[in-house]
Structure 1
Amino acid sequence: MIRRILGKLNRMTGNTDHFLTSYSQYGEDSIILTLLSLLQIKEVNYLDIGANHPYKFSNTALLYRQGIRGINIEPDPALCSFIAQHRPEDVNLNVGIHQSPGELPYYKFEDSVYNTLSDEEAVRIQSKGVKLLAKVSVKVDTYNHVVQEHLKGKAPVILFLDAEGLDEIIIDSIDFQKHAPRIICVETYSYGTGVKDQHLINKILAQGYTIHADTFVNTIFYKS
């Protein structure tokens, strides 16, 4: 269904290469490109918290390919450097995001998609048999400060949030009166438990957002 809609948009715009690829795990990038078209949003940027990789399971690779630019947040120095090599026109910040600035322990696993700043999440991941490679200290900043410092106080159009156990803390820290993104794509599925985080979903809905789509792993919200 999504592919048919995208194909129709391609024919309408005369662009035969615009929506042909998805780098996201479940097509979230294509869904958001469609949503941007439906909302008629022309000037677009993004803030990707927990970017991890420039292409693999990336929600922003297709957007970057289409000329959209933004900010990638990645606390792992090696991963952040790798992203920067492939995203030279993005702002790439080697920090984590939390409710207050400072330093926090960062858990690095054999599969980097599990890397986390959450002590509780690190314990849960290890209990599933995923090998912990290292525990290091990394700098953390806040969403509000990143917006103020790098976006001149104007909220990103799209917020991608995949912070492995810290999503709710980050959502709670956002000043939605000043820095509310137009679209939020957040991981709302807990791997290993098979449970959707309805509490997190309700928190975002309470800020005036509407659910546009749910890929089971991620929920995509928009603000009218």
Structure 2
Amino acid sequence: MKYISRTIISDIQSKYDFIIGWGTGTLLERNYRKDYYPMEFIVDGRKNRIDEKYQGLNIYPAEKLLELQGKILIVIYTIYEKEIIDKLNELGVNADTIIYNLLDVKKGSRTLPIWNGKNADDIFLLELALRLGMEDIQYLDIGVCHPIMRNNTFILHELGYHGVLVEPNPTFHSLIEEYRSNDTLLKIGASNQDSTLTYYNFPRTPGLNTFDKEHASYLMQTEPYTEEIIPIRNINRIISENYATYPNIIDIDVEGFDYHILESLDTQKYPAEIIMCECTSQDNPIIKLMQRKGYRVYSHTIENYIFTLNA
């Protein structure tokens, strides 16, 4: 069984003999504490930190699960969810799974986790939307990756709003359809043209997949990758074909193509009130571009700029 909606740990904890964490990266380190709920150990599917400890918990390879006799809940702390499910099937391990974002922890009057974005970017986004008095929110998320983990629009989805999700990586299509069925998924890339481009797919680091060969070149030296020809669409065409008017929130994370997309966006015809884009080496050109288009910087998180349309 896979939990696909928010679940309170105290409501299900007694159902399981073992609660196991899976993933040893920043998502675990930023989001798990021993006082939230006890875990038996942590699985490192990539085997980079085997025999280490985290908060007193041993880190083991996935094969350690074969030693367990009883009902297992695996809490996933990595975007490689599909890879984990495949590994469980390969091992023949019968376990329920839930991604950490959906496992709620009650701490007094608070419910954790509080945000889904990597650096609480989604909270900045929502706070600005509330400040602007936005009611009928429609969003466009370009470069979705995982539909919940490190995602900036899932919080809007949870509040009952709808949007269009653009994601060229087939690895995440089934997860998007499963978790975000009320949104519209476009299995393409976005750019400044209608065409096809070579998509550089890095299976070990899919968050860095890109259409930009220069952007991908440094990873090609150390990481296995594949190349696929993927259709791309001009952002204005994506908007015209999928919205009655236009999205009032746009979130872009496309590993090197942010500037091209923003440059081609017709902000006269589609004056989105909030635009978020990833910080890259193009930061200063992006700021100047957005200022020319009538936007100002509202906030700068660790990895993103948030722009708002000047009144």
* Alignment correspondent of 2:12: none
Query: Following superposition, which runs of at least 4 residues in structure 1 exceed 6 angstroms of deviation?
Result: 16-20
2:142 to 49, 54, 59: 49
Rounded to whole Å, the distance in 1 between the matches of 2:230 and 2:200 is: 10
CA distance in 2 between counterparts of 1:177 and 1:210 reads 15
Asked if structure 2 preserves the Cα contact closer than 8 Å seen for 1:97 and 1:142, the reply is yes
- TM-superposed deviation, 1:100: 1.1
Question: Structure 2: how far apart are the matches of 1:204 and 1:84?
Answer: 32
Of residues 286, 290, 294, the one that matches 1:204 is 290
Shift in Å, 1:93:
0.5
Q: CA 1:188–1:113 in 2, change beyond 3 Å: closer, same or farther?
A: same
Residue 117 (str. 1) matches residue 211 (str. 2): yes
CA distance in 2, matches of 1:189, 1:36: 24
Q: In the TM superposition, what are the counterparts of 1:19-168 in structure 2 within 5 Å?
A: 21-109=114-202, 110-127=204-221, 129=222, 131-152=223-244, 154-168=245-259
Contact 1:211 1:219 in 2 (8 A): yes
SS at match of 1:132: coil
Paired with 1:142 and 1:159, the residues of 2 have a C-alpha distance of: 14
Displacement of 1:20 in angstroms is 6.5
* CA positional deviation for 1:17: 8.0
Paired residues of 2:165 and 2:185 also in contact (CA < 8 A):
yes
Residues 80 and 93, structure 1, Cα contact 8 Å, conserved in 2: no
8 Å contact from structure 1 (residues 107, 132) kept in 2: no
Secondary structure, counterpart of 2:168 in structure 1: coil
Partner of 1:222: 308
TM-score normalised per structure 1: 0.84
Query: Which structure's CA Rg is the greater one?
Result: 2
Secondary structure, aligned partner of 2:299: strand
Which residue of structure 1 lines up, in the alignment, with residue 270 of structure 2? 179
Q: Secondary structure at the match of 2:163?
A: strand
**SS of the residue aligned with 2:123?**
helix
State the distance in 2 between where 1:210 and 1:20 align.
30
Residue 177 to residue 114, structure 1, CA distance change in 2 (3 Å): same
Distance between the aligned counterparts of 1:177 and 1:17, measured in 2? 42
Please state how far the C-alpha of 1:84 moved relative to its aligned partner: 1.4
TM superposition shift of 1:204 = 0.8
- For 2:127 and 2:169, the matched residues in 1 are separated by 31
CA distance in 2, matches of 1:31, 1:20: 15
Instruction: Report the TM-score, using the length of structure 2 for normalisation.
Output: 0.61
Structure 1 equivalent of residue 90 of structure 2:
none
In structure 2, the partner of 1:13 is none
Identity %: 29
Find the aligned partners of 2:158 and 2:110 in 1 and give their Cα distance: 10
Structure 1: give runs of 5+ residues left out of the alignment.
1-15, 191-195
AA matched with 2:280 = Y
Paired residue type of 2:234: T
CA distance in 2, matches of 1:203, 1:90: 30
Aligned residues: 201
1:80 CA displacement: 2.1
CA apart distance, 1:134: 0.7
CA contact (8 A) 1:188 1:201 kept: no
SS in 1 for 2:199: strand
Q: Quick one: which amino acid aligns to residue 162 of structure 2?
A: R
C-alpha distance after superposition, 1:123-166 (max 9, x if no partner): 13335x3x1321111111111011110103x2211000111111
2:256–2:280 contact (8 Å) kept in structure 1 = no
Q: CA deviation at 1:106?
A: 0.3
Deviation per CA, 1:201-224: give whole Å up to 9, x if none.
111121111111111310101113
SS of the residue aligned with 1:189? coil
Structure ranking higher on relative contact order (CA contacts 8 Å, 6+ apart): 1
Deviation at 1:81, TM superposition (A): 2.5
C-alpha contact 1:75 1:94 (8 A) present in aligned 2: yes
